Amino acid sequence: MKRAYKYRFYPTEQQQQELLRTFGCVRLVYNKALQARTEAWYSEQRRVNYVETSALLTEWKKTDELAFLSEVSSVPLQQCLRHLQAAFVNFFDKRARYPRFKSRKKSRASAEYTRSAFRWRDGHLMLAKMTEPLAIVWSRPLPEGAEPSTVTVSRDTAGRWFVSILVQTGVDHHATTDTAVGVDTGITSLLTLSRPIDGLTDSQGKITNPKHEQRERARLARAQRRLAKKTAGSANRGKARRKVARIHARITDRRRDHLHKLTTRLVRENQTIVIEDLNVSGMLRKHSLARAISDASWSELRSMLEYKAEWYGRTVIAIDQWFPSSKTCSDCGLLLDSLPLGVREWTCPGCGAVHDRDVNATRTILAAGLAVAACGGGVRPTRQQSVRRSPVKQETQPARVGIPRF
C-alpha cells in the first residue's frame, strides 16, 4: 500500500524563493483553469476535461503576460490541473461541492512533484529547478529500500515548511487477537471504552479530554486582540498574524499528537473497534457545542482509526448514528422512552442495573457492532422514518421500545 511520511525541512533563501514562486504559479493556473471550465459550461453547456486544460496551459505560457509560468517546473502545474479534474469528478458524483478558487491568504500553499521532477539519491531529495537538496529533519526513517513516487512541498500559515514523501510499502498486519472494544466519543471524556485499558483509561474506561484549544484560549485571545489593533498591510500586522498562526499550529500539533498515540494504542490492542457514525458537521451547527466538538476533533479521530486499521489488519465498524446506545440497557436490552443529556447515571427499571451513561453506551455500541460483524447489514433504530431528525446526538431524540436484546 502507499503511505506518506511527512517531515519538516528548512529551505535556503534560493529554495524558498523558488518554492514561493511555484506556489503562486500553481494557484494561478488552478484558478484560470477553473474559470475556463466554468465559463465553458455556462456559455456553451460544455464540459472541459484535463486534456483541454493542459492544452490551455501550453497556450498561456506562450503569451507575454504569462510567460513567467515557464520559469518554474511544469510538473506541479500539471498536477494542479489533475487535482482540479478530480475535484470536478467528485462534484459530478455528488461527493463534494463545486470547486472553489484558491486564495493567496486562506488556501494551503503546496506543490506536488512526481518522479520526473525530483531526484532521490542516498537519502537526499533534490527538486526540479534547484541546485541543492532539501535540508530535511528526518524525525523517523523511511521504510528500508523505499523509493518515493510523489513529493508534496507545503508551507503552513505559521511559516513552517514541510515535505510529504509518498512511498510504496508492504502491509504490516499485527498478530490477530480476539479482543474487541466499543468506543463512545464525548466532550468531558474524549473517549469512553467498553473496557478499561491499563495506562490509557481510568477504572471506568474513560479517557480525559485534554482540551488543547481551551488551554490556549487566553493566549490566543490576547494575540488576536493585538492583531486587530495593527494597521492593515503593515509589517507589524504581518508579525502579529504569524504569532496567531503559531498558536493555532501549536494547538493543532498537540491535538494531532495525542490522537495519534491514542488511536495507535487502540488499533494495536484490539482486533475489532466499534464506533458511532456521527454527523459531526451537523452537530457543529449547534453553536453552544461547536467549539468544544471542534477541539475534540472526532472526525480526525475516526479517520485515524480507519486508515490505521487498514494498515494493521484490524476492523472498524461504524453503527448508525441514530442507534439509541445510551438509552438501551446493556444488561437486559430495555429501551427508555427518553434520557436527557443532563442525566449521567440512571437505573434500569427492568433489571435494576445502575448504569453510567457513557459506559453503558459503549457496551451497547460494542454489542451492536459485533451483531453487524456476525450477521451483516446495519443497525438502525426501530422508529418512523418520517420523523424529522436533528443533527444533535441521538440521545436527545424520542424512541420506542423494540430494540432486541443483545
* DSSP category for residue 175: P
Cβ neighbours for 345, distance < 8 A, ≥ 6 positions apart: 354, 355, 356, 357
Determine the Cα–Cα distance for residues 193 and 266; give it in Å rounded to an integer: 10
Determine the Cα–Cα distance for residues 387 and 66; give it in Å rounded to an integer: 57
Q: Alpha helix (H) ranges present in 13-122?
A: 13-44, 50-62, 74-92
Instruction: List residues with catalytic annotation.
Output: 184, 276, 358
Determine the Cα–Cα distance for residues 19 and 379; give it in Å rounded to an integer: 50
Beta bridge partners of 154: 110, 162
CA–CA–CA angle 27, 28, 33 (5° rounding): 100
Beta bridge partners of 143: none
What three-state secondary structure class fits 35?
Answer: helix
Question: Measuring CA to CA, which residue among 25, 27, 23 is closest to residue 11?
Answer: 23
Edge-to-edge strand order for the sheet containing 315-319?
Answer: 206-208, 189-193, 180-185, 272-276, 315-319
Determine the Cα–Cα distance for residues 72 and 313; give it in Å rounded to an integer: 42
What three-state secondary structure class fits 302?
Answer: helix
* Cα radius of gyration rounded to whole Å, the chain: 25
What does 176-204 look like in DSSP terms, one character per residue?
P---EEEEEE-SSEEEEESS--TTTS-TT
Cell digits of residue 116: 520526473
Cβ neighbours for 406, distance < 8 A, ≥ 6 positions apart: 330, 333, 364, 367, 368, 371
Q: Are 255 and 297 in contact (CB under 8 A)?
A: yes
Q: Are 284 and 329 in contact (CB under 8 A)?
A: no
Q: Are 209 and 300 in contact (CB under 8 A)?
A: no
